[in-house]
Amino acid sequence: MAELMKPKFQKHIYPDSVIFIRGEDSFVKSRAKKLDHDAADFKWTHENIEKRLKKFHANNDLDLFVQANNHKDLGLPSFKQPTLPIYRFFQENKTEIFEIDGDGNLFEMLESMRVYVERNGRPYNYLSSVRNLNQKRIEHLHDEEKDAIKTE
């Protein structure tokens, strides 16, 4: 019965690539504070964020590779499958990982992610046209240039 209940990897719905947004804990916490959420929303409470970040770090520390390779039972039948970072799962399933820093300029981050998503062609699922996106980008860059001149 346990074998029937075990989750199965479903390649037909699995993505070819993923976007991993890096951020310091302080950045994640500050972004969570800025969210407009209800008091009853448990997901973004300070305690829950702390718990989730701790679990994330414990499960994604790159030292997990070192610990697995230096385990005393490595290569023996008694060796149990070690906990490895999420990167390993994506590597084993030949998934591209696009990493980006989450603490950069939001517009540039979104533009980088858009370029990555559209690297093999643009999906046409009710998105703005490339002409509109380029016009918005030009306007944004002009606004940034004007702001830079004002602050000088």
Tell me, what DSSP letter sits at residue 37? Answer: -
pLDDT at 40 over 60: no
Residue 98's DSSP bridge partners are: 19
pLDDT at 7 over 90: no
Give kind and range of the element (H or E) at residue 114: helix 106-117
pLDDT in tens, 50-97: 999 999 888 888 788 888 888 888 888 888 887 788 888 888 889 999
Q: Kindly report whether the global pTM for this prediction surpasses the value 0.85.
A: no
pLDDT in tens, 124-142: 666 677 788 888 889 998 9
